[in-house]
Amino acid sequence: MTSLDSLDGIAMAKRRGRRLEDTPHTQAYREMLAAVRGFQNAVVQANPSPEELAQMTASLQEMQAMLEAQAVPEVERWYGRGGGRDGKLQLVTPQLRIDVVEEDRIQAHTVAEEFYIGMNGAMHGGIVAAIFDALLGRMASGAQGRVCRTAYLTTNYRAITPLNERLDLVAKVESVERRKRFVSGQLWHGDTLCAEADALFVELLPGHQ
Ligand SMILES: CCCCCCCCCCCCCC(=O)SCCNC(=O)CCNC(=O)[C@H](O)C(C)(C)COP(=O)(O)OP(=O)(O)OC[C@H]1O[C@@H](n2cnc3c(N)ncnc32)[C@H](O)[C@@H]1OP(=O)(O)O
C-alpha cells in the first residue's frame, strides 16, 4: 500500500498518531532525520563548485536508491510519528516544542533554521501557515486525540518572522459547535507579534478519508 491507498481517516490517524517507541533502530532514524535537517540548511546556504555538485548529486542518488529499496506503506512509516513534547518526526516545519498543554490552550516554541527562508532573513509565509496548521490542529485534537481536518486557516502576517531566533507560539480554542472547533494562534518574537491565525477544524466521522 502506498500513500495513495487510503484507510478510514480515523483509523489511519490513530495508528499514525502514536508516539514512536524508543529503540536503537528508531533512535538511528531520528538521527538520520536530524542529519537531513542539517543538510537542508547547508543546501540553501552554499554555492558549491561544479565538481562538488557532481559528487554530491551522485551520493544523493545512491542514498535515494537505498531509501527507495526500504519503502513501506504509509501506515507503517516512522515519518510523521513522534508526538510528545518534541513534536513529530517531520521536515515540513521547524521542530515545534510544546511547553504547556491545557484543555483549551497550548504554548510552544520553535527556532526556524535557514532552510525555511523566504527572503531577506524572513521566514517563508507558507511555512508560517504550516506551523499554525500543525499547532492549531494539535489544539483541535485535544487530549482525547480527536481526528480533525483543517476546513480553513487564515494567517495574518504582522511583522517578518525571523530565522534562527526563538519564536513563541500560543494556540487557543475559541469555541466549539458540534464537530467544529474554532481555534486561534499567535506567533511572537519577543514582544513582537509576527503573525496570527484563525482556523476551523472539523472532526472526522467514521468512513471519512
Ligand atoms: C508539536 C505540534 C505538532 C503536532 C501536530 C499533531 C497534530 C496534527 C494536526 C495536523 C493538522 C493538519 C490537518 C490538515 O492539514 S488536514 C489537510 C488540509 N485539509 C483538508 O484537506 C480538508 C479538506 N476538506 C474536507 O475534508 C472536508 O471539507 C471537511 C472534513 C473539512 C468537512 O467535511 P465534512 O463532510 O466532515 O463536514 P461538512 O461539510 O458536513 O461540514 C461540517 C460543518 O463544518 C462546516 N464547514 C466545513 N467546511 C467549512 C469551511 N471551509 N468554512 C466554514 N465552515 C465549514 C459546515 O458548514 C458544517 O457546519 P454545520 O452545518 O455543522 O454548522
Measured in residues, the chain has a length of 209
Distance (Å, rounded) from C-alpha 19 to C-alpha 42?
A: 29
pLDDT at residue number 69: 98
Sign of CA dihedral 167, 173, 174, 180: positive
d(CA 86, CA 164): 18
C-alpha cell recorded at residue 88: 513529530
Q: Per residue in 57-71, pLDDT tens?
A: 999 999 999 999 999
More confident residue, 116 or 144: 116
Interatomic CA distance for residues 81 and 53, integer angstroms: 33
Cα separation, 154 vs 85, in Å, equals: 25
Query: Distance between CA 109 and CA 93 in Å, rounded?
Result: 12
| Residue minimizing CA distance to atom 42 of ligand 1 | 202
Instruction: Output the nine-digit C-alpha cell for 104.
Output: 483549551
Tell me: ipTM over 0.95: no
Strands (E), the chain: 97-102, 105-111, 117-119, 122-123, 148-157, 166-177, 180-189, 192-203
Q: Maximum distance among all alpha carbons in the chain? A: 60
pLDDT digits (tens, 9 = 90+) for 151-163: 999 999 999 999 9
Q: Is 181 in the pocket of ligand 1 (CB under 6 A)?
A: no
pTM higher than 0.90: yes
Domains of the chain, by residue range, sit at: 9-76, 97-203
CATH superfamily of 97-203: Hotdog Thioesterase (3.10.129.10)
pLDDT at 188 over 80: yes
Can you tell me the distance from the alpha carbon of 168 to that of 193, in angstroms, rounded to the nearest whole number?
10
Question: Which residue minimizes the CA distance to atom 31 of ligand 1?
Answer: 151
Order of strands across the sheet with 166-177?
Answer: 97-102, 105-111, 166-177, 180-189, 192-203, 148-157
Nearest Cα residue to atom 46 of ligand 1: 151
| pLDDT greater than 80 at residue 85 | no
Q: Which three cell numbers stand for residue 175?
A: 469555541
The number of the ligand 1 atom at minimal distance from the alpha carbon of 98 is 1
CA nearest ligand 1 atom 19, residue: 150
Which atom in ligand 1 lies closest to the alpha carbon of residue 138? 7
